Structure 1
Amino acid sequence: MSASYNETQLDALRELANIGAGTASTALSEMLGRSIDLAVPDARVLPMADAVEQLGPPEQEITGIMLGVEGELPATVLMLLTPENADKVCVMLGLEAGSDLVPSALGEIGNVVGTSYLNALAGMTGLAIEPTPPATVTDFLGAIVESILAVRAAASDRTLLLDSSLVIEGEDCSIVFLLVPDHGGAEELLERIGVA
């Protein structure tokens, strides 16, 4: 991955993230029956070590919902929420906090929301991409993010983070939503939208 992108390219990546996250927030809103506010997405190219720091304290306990992305844009979609927010989301779905069904309910949210994001991305870029089934894990933020970044940036010490925050209206509850493409993925996105 090249060391930097110009402002036009970063703006184009932010706009892709914005449209994808907008579609994802609509899907989440329909699932939860709540309005979702969308924070302005960001596009950052960072050294691996800085990427974790940008997302929060590495030792913070976090619940991650991950979907692999296969096809013309190998990537990972990662949704991060605190365990407390994971419980709040499950309660909104009618589950008891701590229920055995929580991981699978969160996985289903990841599946619907992540697939909506990817479908929007595919529609804008013409890329053929397919999500893999979701996995849900609760661990330290550093452990979750480093394991994903290590896989995705195999040929580079830098990673592209396209991140958005989905905030559930009327609840102190938000989900950080990230798209982490493989090495070279940003160039592929930019080429497809004519800003290479």
Structure 2
Amino acid sequence: MSATYNDIQLDALRELANIGAGNASTALSGMLGRPVDLTVPDARVVPMTQAVEEIGVPESEVTGIALGVLGDMPSVVLMLLTPADAASICALLGLEPDSEYAESALGEIGNVVGTSYLNALAGMTGLELEPTPPATATDMLSSLVQTVLASRAAVSDDALLLDSSMIVEGEGCSIVFLLSPDHGGAGELLSRLGVS
């Protein structure tokens, strides 16, 4: 964990994440036509260089959904799903995980979740944030995260890492949510939340 953030600041980021999770739960419930409970048991700020190690086994296969963020805090949002969790979400949508529509459907789920988090963040901080359309890919964790974050390395120092748990009618899955703002973005968020 980055030593530059104290417990009060991390609690504020967790609270922000939980509000975003509440928004995402409501949006996904409407999309799936069934109750969805999305929670964020853990939120932490990690240096960009440690992001892969913090997320999981570098050689493991994951599906990633990336959204660019334009506006007051240029960023990238990256959501990561294991193959089992991606298959569970596809099944909820009535799709086979390897069907031609699966990647598009996962991208739309990522879009709904990412946009819900960003709307909560904008509402609490007053920042103008505009997401770009999602891009979806499946690869090794290290390749995927490094590809996305390599484009950010020159402009970002820290990443906000949210381990999320989603339960849809008793079926659970995990989503790792990573927000990589431009340099100083995490500090700006905390300043806007009054805990800088």
TM-score normalised to the size of structure 1? 0.89
Pair 1:64-2:64 in alignment: yes
Moved more, 60-69 or 184-193: 184-193
- Counterpart residue identity of residue 131, structure 2: P
Counterpart in 1 of 2:160?
161
Q: Aligned-pair distance for 1:166? A: 2.7
- For residues 163 and 26 of structure 2, the distance between their equivalents in structure 1, rounded to whole angstroms, comes to 14
CA-based RMSD of the aligned residues comes to: 2.0
How has the CA–CA distance of structure 1 residues 110 and 28 changed in structure 2, closer, same or farther, with 3 Å as cutoff? same
Cα deviation digits, residues 129-173 of structure 1 (max 9, x gap): 1000000000000111122222223146x4222313132242242
Aligned position for 1:142: 142
How many Å separate the matches in 1 of 2:108 and 2:54? 27
Task: Give the conservation status (yes or no) of the 8 Å contact 2:48–2:149.
Answer: no
**Map of 2:4 onto structure 1:** 4
**Residue 83 of structure 1 corresponds to which residue in structure 2?**
83
CA distance in 1, matches of 2:180, 2:91: 29
CA displacement, residues 90-128 of structure 1 (integer Å, 9 cap, x when unaligned): 121122231101111111111112111111110100000
User: What is the 5 A alignment of 1:7-156?
Assistant: 7-32=7-32, 33-46=34-47, 48=49, 50-155=50-155
Whole-Å separation in 1 of the counterparts to 2:140 and 2:90 = 21
After superposition, give the CA deviation of every residue in 1:9-37 in whole Å (9 maximum; x if it has no partner): 22222222222222223322332323324
139-148 or 175-184, which deviates more: 175-184
Q: Residue 18 of structure 1 contacts residue 41 of structure 1 at CA under 8 Å; is this kept in 2?
A: no
Aligned-partner Cα distance in 1 for 2:128–2:189: 12
Q: Alpha-carbon deviation of 1:47? A: 5.2
Give the whole-Å Cα distance in 1 for the aligned partners of 2:68 and 2:107: 12
3-state SS of paired residue (2:151): helix
Poorly superposed stretches of 4+, deviation over 4 Å:
none
**Equivalent position amino acid for 1:24 in 2:** A
Amino acid at match of 2:124: M
* Equivalent position amino acid for 1:100 in 2: E
Paired positions, count: 193
